[in-house]
């Protein structure tokens, strides 16, 4: 019986990047499709029905963020954006319009492969599972209970809401705006100090050393990522 390969659509006009991704992803067991413009990429996403899309933000015809928006109108397939190192605001905007993660150019294939695995794992995980775990951290939704290595952690209602949101998106970066809107609503989208205060409180309760966090990782200028054991 033939093994069904996961299809990955790469939307990028840089020949070297496309060649690298095609060879490396194919070697990793993925089926790879290439689109060199945003419009072609949107059409290919609908036609190919990929399991994951990689989009460069600097496309020749339309902005990569607009490609993400268009795909998000009809699909929730995982999307990873590629950005240049100095495009911090572009990363934030790309994530806010619906991308699942980002990788900064130049990137290592090991980093990209890890991001792909996280996105694919999340896309096949039922977010309504009664218990979620990330490393030694666990959330029991029916019991409204958070434990670390089997020991219950007492959290405030807001801390609990933040950690459950992050657990449901474990391994993926969440922007300050995404966290603020999810916890406090639309009107708090710019008040980043709120989230910093609560993240600091959570780290004091969860991390062995809050100054060197192992679970709640800061993505500088972007937001936070909940990490556990691979």
Q: Extract the tokens encoding 205.
A: 């309760």
Q: Which CATH number fits domain 131-226: 3.90.700.10, 1.10.10.10, 3.40.50.300, 3.40.50.720?
A: 1.10.10.10
8 Å CB contact between 64 and 57:
yes
> Directed axis angle between helix 192-206 and helix 157-168, to 10°?
90
Separation CA 137–CA 171 (nearest Å): 13
The model's pTM is 0.81
Q: Is the pLDDT of residue 133 over 50?
A: yes
Q: Is the pLDDT of residue 194 over 60?
A: yes
Separation CA 35–CA 30 (nearest Å): 16
Q: Which is more confidently placed, 102 or 228?
A: 102
Share of the chain above pLDDT 90, in %: 64
pLDDT value of residue 169 = 87
- Give the confidence band of 230 by pLDDT, cuts at 50, 70, 90: very low
pLDDT value of residue 64 = 94
Where do the structural domains in the chain lie, given as residue ranges?
7-123, 131-226
Stretch 181-206: mean pLDDT: 84
- Give the confidence band of 1 by pLDDT, cuts at 50, 70, 90: very low
Return mean pLDDT, the chain. Answer: 89
Q: Which CATH number fits domain 7-123: 3.40.50.2300, 3.10.450.50, 3.90.45.10, 3.40.50.1970?
A: 3.40.50.2300
Separation CA 61–CA 73 (nearest Å): 20
pLDDT value of residue 143 = 87
pLDDT value of residue 171 = 87
pLDDT value of residue 163 = 94
Q: Which of 66-70, 143-147, 165-169 has the highest mean pLDDT?
A: 66-70
Residues 67-111: tens digit of each pLDDT? 999 999 999 899 999 988 677 888 899 999 999 999 988 889 999
* Concatenated DSSP letters of 142-203: TTTEEEETTEEE---HHHHHHHHHHHHTTTSEEEHHHHHHHHH-GGGTT-HHHHHHHHHHHH
Q: Extract the tokens encoding 190.
A: 């710019």
Longest dimension (CA), the chain: 55
């Amino acid at each position: 019986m033939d093994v069904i390969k996961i299809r990955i659509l790469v939307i990028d006009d840089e020949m070297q990047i496309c060649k690298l991704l095609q060879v490396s992803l194919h070697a990793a067991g993925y089926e790879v499709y290439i689109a060199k413009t945003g419009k072609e990429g949107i059409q290919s996403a609908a036609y190919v029905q990929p399991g994951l899309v990689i989009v460069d933000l600097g496309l020749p015809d339309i902005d990569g963020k607009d490609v993400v928006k268009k795909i998000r109108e009809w699909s929730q397939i995982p999307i990873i954006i590629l950005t240049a190192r100095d495009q911090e605001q572009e990363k934030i905007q790309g994530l806010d319009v619906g991308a699942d993660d980002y990788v900064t150019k130049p990137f290592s294939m090991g980093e990209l492969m890890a991001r792909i695995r996280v996105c694919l794992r999340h896309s096949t995980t039922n977010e309504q599972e009664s218990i979620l775990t990330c490393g030694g951290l666990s959330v029991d939704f029916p019991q409204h209970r958070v434990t670390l290595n089997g020991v219950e952690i007492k959290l405030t209602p807001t801390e609990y809401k933040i950690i459950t949101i992050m657990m449901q998106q474990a391994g993926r970066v969440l922007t300050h705006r995404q966290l603020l809107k999810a916890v406090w609503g639309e009107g708090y989208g710019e008040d980043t100090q709120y989230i910093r205060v609560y993240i600091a409180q959570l780290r004091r309760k969860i991390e062995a050393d809050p100054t060197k966090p192992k679970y709640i990782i800061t993505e500088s200028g972007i937001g936070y990522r909940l990490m556990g054991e691979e």
